[in-house]
């Protein structure tokens, strides 16, 4: 049979596998190198004991006939949907608008399937590659890139932006670390409402927002429930990158042009092509949202934010222009006139540090590197020591 | 924005939610009814202790800084891919042809995304609804149904079958319980080879095959690696319906017409739109494939097969024609001249037994009911006692 033509349109190599390939190539020639990874945004802190115990208790319960459970609701265990609505959203969304899943990436793929191929999309540029690549796999041909750079404070110029059916928007942003203000999100919601667009709001890093004036959810903006789906995750909130647990909010107020319910279609798709997140992971999620768990993960989030602050200072001391890293776990460092894959290779070879080349996130990412704060403190400190060995000039 | 036209083509209500709805409607009028569910194929036996402990150990390890893991390979932990190749496939497939995932249903959705909308598909009729409904969501318009009934021993007549790009095939079959013989699968592989079709072989119930002459994998057939993808699951193998763990085999020998590798496209899609199965579930899967775990789940499989045998005898004593239930956890019972939703309602109201109406699986399922053996023994025995109260004539 013939190959899916959409697959032929993908560029070679998804960004992170390419980084791994280059890292491994370097390691095979330099097996003794102690590489510090500030590349992929992968959590490194052990889980709080109370959360790991909840996971383990749930696993052990499966050996008890009176407690064993098989398939749960595709939409997630009721208690967890309730708890997400209560703790994360302060009841501003309803529990049955919460759909629990095994990861934001998977839900993004399913959302792309929900809307189909005959749609136009807009993404911030630079952007998390999955929005674009998943859309290409789905057969979407019209992809509008909204430049986000230091000139516009990494928020797209909506006055000149073209209308699209879907708008992917990520805040705190991956990769730039920019956090949209209330006014910016109000403008985004108005723009979507005017254009009858749907916003896919990626809030995977919302827990890193400490400033009370910055919105953690698109639903803090009036009218957002009529235009926005929000994707949240336990990955960076609670170190569940390996455990796998996420959620998507599809408000009942969100309608297609013909007046039919997006919520109903999403429910139909999820009950057809998904079978629920792991029951063990869901019980872990419940423990995250209980008082003890919630307190413990605040400390974990603060730890990574302190990492970000340390990295920020170190890069600034080298006179490197840095964005992000406040209320966000990513730093976006600029190296004017340099190719970001060259900087990647330089950092790898000279300092044994892996960071993510900005151009992997889009044309507006050229000249930039993304540094992730999801590392252990000793590695962050060691990385800053290594960087101090250069005067910064080699990097600029 | 406009609704995805593919979604409008789905019929109302996925089969199992509809069953749940009817059951709950009955329960709200008859709150004291002790309903026995032989409907959805959901496991009910507690996990063997050694497997639950492996799950719990893996969860507890996440609280230990020296053992914590975040993202794993999207394709699955190497040790698990190796173990599946070794224990399930006796090395007839290579470990890097094994892709671990969170469920067969999810992988079916992703496979449909892999092949895209411009394909024709064939399904057995009756069939597991997800093959058809997932394809409709993806935009597939040409769906050929291959009748499977008692006349052809529930194996499609390939001599008269139309050519399609994809052929979904499930053995042991859901819902009929039919298990394809070696000769039948040889014919299927030859048919696919002649037509340059790809077989999506659903082996979710393979562990129920006890007869050594019946193939447990399509790859026991020579040449199958050039034409078939196989989907396997820990759900019915090891009671992991709630834990969520599955795998898909994409052989490297499988090529598109243009000579490009299906394996490479699948790897690209999975690294883009999937982030690995839960690390806890994967460690549970490893324990299933260790000696103790493997022995324990053989007993679990034998237990459900004994349930099937008991149900088979009870239905036969009522002079009901029954297919399946040998080497398979499903029984396919015929009620000539009756509508299967009527039989559903009759069994629910008169005996408080839930079974699955055959027409929910396709036109050739009319007159049939599917009985699942995934229940506790006491419920199976209680169900047979209740059925004995009728003389069978009411059902025929």
Q: What are B240-294's pLDDT values in tens digits?
A: 999 999 999 999 999 999 999 999 999 999 999 999 999 999 999 999 999 999 9
Distance of CA A165 to the CA centre of its chain: 21
Question: Which residue does chain A place closest to B196, by CA atoms?
Answer: A1
Cα–Cα distance for residue pair A123/A169, rounded to 1 Å: 7
φ and ψ at B233, to 5 degrees?
-150, 145
Cα–Cα distance for residue pair B362/B194, rounded to 1 Å: 27
Across A315-339, average pLDDT: 96
Q: What are B160-170's pLDDT values in tens digits?
A: 999 999 999 99
Q: Between residues 15 and 54 of chain B, which touch chain A (CB distance below 8 Å)? A: 16-17, 40, 42-49, 51-53
Across B220-240, average pLDDT: 98
As given in the structure block, the two tokens for residue B76 are 């699955």
Taking all residues of chain B, what is their mean pLDDT, rounded to a whole number? Answer: 96
As given in the structure block, the two tokens for residue B221 are 């057939």
Instruction: Provide the shortest C-alpha distance from residue B385 to chain A (in Å).
Output: 23
- Spatial CB neighbours of A181, under 8 Å, sequence gap ≥ 6: A213, A214, A215
Across A311-331, average pLDDT: 96
The answer to whether residue B319 scores a pLDDT higher than 80 is yes
In three-state secondary structure terms, A356 is strand
Its pTM stands at 0.97
Compare CB distances from A280 to B3, B71, B280 and report the shortest one's residue.
B280
Residue of B11, B20, B40, B62 best to disrupt the A interface, most CBs of A under 10 A = B62
User: Would you list the domain boundaries of chain B?
Assistant: 5-47+293-388, 50-290
A49-290, CATH topology level: 3.40.640
Cα–Cα distance for residue pair A364/B225, rounded to 1 Å: 44
As given in the structure block, the two tokens for residue A353 are 């540090």
How would residue A388 be classed by pLDDT, with cut points 50, 70 and 90?
confident
How would residue B41 be classed by pLDDT, with cut points 50, 70 and 90?
confident
The answer to whether residue B12 scores a pLDDT higher than 80 is no
How would residue A391 be classed by pLDDT, with cut points 50, 70 and 90?
low
Given this model, what pLDDT does residue A168 score? 98
Contacts of B284 in chain A (CB under 8 A): 59
Instruction: Provide the shortest C-alpha distance from residue B93 to chain A (in Å).
Output: 22
Contacts of A129 in chain B (CB under 8 A): 272
How many beta carbons lie within 10 A of that of residue B287, not counting itself? Answer: 24
With beta carbons less than 8 A apart as the criterion, state whether B168 and B107 touch: no
How would residue B390 be classed by pLDDT, with cut points 50, 70 and 90?
confident
Give percent above pLDDT 90 in chain A.
Answer: 94
φ and ψ at A293, to 5 degrees?
-65, -45
B50-290, CATH topology level: 3.40.640
Q: What are B44-95's pLDDT values in tens digits?
A: 999 999 999 999 999 999 999 999 999 999 999 999 999 999 999 999 999 9
How would residue A378 be classed by pLDDT, with cut points 50, 70 and 90?
very high
With beta carbons less than 8 A apart as the criterion, state whether A354 and A379 touch: no
How would residue B395 be classed by pLDDT, with cut points 50, 70 and 90?
low
Among residues B354, B395, B330, B362, which one has the least CA distance to residue B18?
Answer: B354
Cα–Cα distance for residue pair B126/B147, rounded to 1 Å: 7
Q: Are strands A98-101 and A356-357 parallel, antiparallel or unpaired?
A: unpaired
Cis peptide before A16 (omega within 30 of 0): no
Secondary-structure class of domain A5-47+293-390 per CATH:
alpha beta
ipTM score of complex: 0.96
B5-47+293-388, CATH topology level: 3.90.1150
Instruction: Provide the shortest C-alpha distance from residue B194 to chain A (in Å).
Output: 11
Burial class (CB in 10 A: 0-12, 13-18, 19+), A19: buried
The answer to whether residue A344 scores a pLDDT higher than 90 is yes
As given in the structure block, the two tokens for residue B284 are 């549970």
Cα–Cα distance for residue pair B89/B97, rounded to 1 Å: 11
């Amino acid at each position: 049979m013939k190959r899916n033509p959409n697959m032929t349109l993908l560029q070679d190599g998804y960004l992170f596998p390419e980084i791994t390939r280059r890292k491994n190539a370097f390691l095979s020639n330099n097996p003794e190198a102690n590489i510090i990874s500030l590349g992929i945004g992968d959590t490194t802190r052990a889980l709080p004991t109370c959360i790991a115990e909840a996971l383990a208790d749930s696993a052990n319960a499966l050996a008890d006939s009176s407690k064993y459970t098989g398939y749960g609701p595709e939409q997630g265990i009721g208690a967890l949907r309730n708890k997400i609505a209560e703790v994360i959203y302060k009841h501003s969304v309803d529990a049955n608008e919460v759909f629990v899943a095994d990861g934001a990436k998977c839900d993004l793929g399913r959302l792309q399937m929900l809307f189909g191929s005959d749609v136009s999309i807009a993404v911030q540029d630079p952007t998390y590659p999955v929005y674009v690549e998943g859309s290409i796999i789905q057969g979407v041909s019209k992809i509008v890139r909204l430049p986000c750079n230091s000139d516009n404070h990494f928020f797209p110029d909506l006055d000149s932006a073209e209308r699209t059916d879907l708008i992917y928007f990520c805040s705190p942003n991956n990769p730039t670390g920019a956090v949209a203000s209330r006014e910016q999100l109000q403008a985004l919601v108005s723009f979507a409402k005017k254009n009858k667009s749907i916003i896919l709001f990626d809030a995977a890093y919302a827990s890193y927002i400490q400033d009370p004036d910055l919105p953690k959810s698109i639903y803090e903006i009036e009218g957002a429930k009529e235009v926005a789906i929000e994707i949240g995750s336990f990955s960076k909130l609670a170190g569940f990158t390996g455990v796998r647990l996420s959620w998507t909010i599809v408000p009942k107020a969100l309608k297609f042009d013909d007046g039919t319910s997006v919520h109903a279609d999403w429910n139909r798709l999820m009950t057809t092509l998904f079978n629920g997140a792991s029951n063990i992971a869901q019980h872990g999620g419940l423990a995250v949202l209980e008082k003890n768990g919630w307190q413990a993960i605040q400390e974990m989030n603060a730890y990574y934010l302190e990492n970000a602050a340390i990295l920020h200072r170190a890069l600034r001391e080298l006179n490197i222009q840095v964005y992000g890293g406040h209320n966000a776990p990513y730093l976006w460092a600029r190296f004017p006139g340099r190719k970001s894959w060259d900087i990647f290779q330089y950092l790898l070879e000279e300092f044994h540090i892996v960071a993510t080349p900005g151009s992997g996130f889009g044309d507006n990412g050229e000249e930039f590197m993304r540094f992730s704060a999801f590392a252990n403190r000793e590695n962050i400190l060691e990385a800053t020591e290594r960087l101090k060995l250069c005067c910064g000039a080699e990097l600029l």
